[in-house]
């Protein structure tokens, strides 16, 4: 599982979220990732490095190219954690609602 603290910190940056969104559509090199941004390839490389360190992106060598690939499995694990938290809070809120309804009816 990706380190949740690192992953959420990485995803807290709008450029990195945009990179994840772009990589969800397919692999891309740093140069290709840099095209829509007013950032240097070095700046994009830094952002890719952050995403690599938290386990959301991997790079491989293809000759002189180094395409980046989204680790959708790792992103799904973060989604699973979020879903578990949502369910837990919904259960708590349902219990509170039931308690308040009982209190209101018992008056």
Residues 6-54: tens digit of each pLDDT: 899 999 999 999 999 999 999 999 999 999 999 998 999 999 999 999 9
Q: Is residue 105 predicted with pLDDT exceeding 80?
A: no
Q: Is residue 107 predicted with pLDDT exceeding 70?
A: no
Percentage, residues of the chain above pLDDT 90:
61
Integer-rounded Cα Rg, in Å, for the chain is 20
Domains of the chain and CATH, by start = 4-105 (1.10.10.10)
Closest CA to 14 of 68, 60, 50, 53: 50
Global pTM value: 0.78
């Amino acid at each position: 599982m990706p380190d949740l603290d690192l992953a959420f910190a990485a995803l807290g940056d709008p450029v990195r979220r945009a990179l994840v969104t772009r990589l969800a559509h397919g692999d891309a090199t740093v140069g290709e990732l840099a095209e829509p941004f007013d950032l240097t390839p070095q700046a994009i490389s830094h952002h890719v490095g952050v995403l690599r360190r938290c386990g959301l992106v991997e790079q491989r060598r293809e000759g002189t190219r180094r395409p980046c690939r989204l680790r959708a499995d790792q992103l799904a694990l973060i989604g699973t954690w979020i879903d578990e938290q949502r369910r837990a809070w919904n259960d708590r809120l349902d219990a509170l609602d039931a308690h308040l309804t009982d209190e209101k009816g018992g008056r």
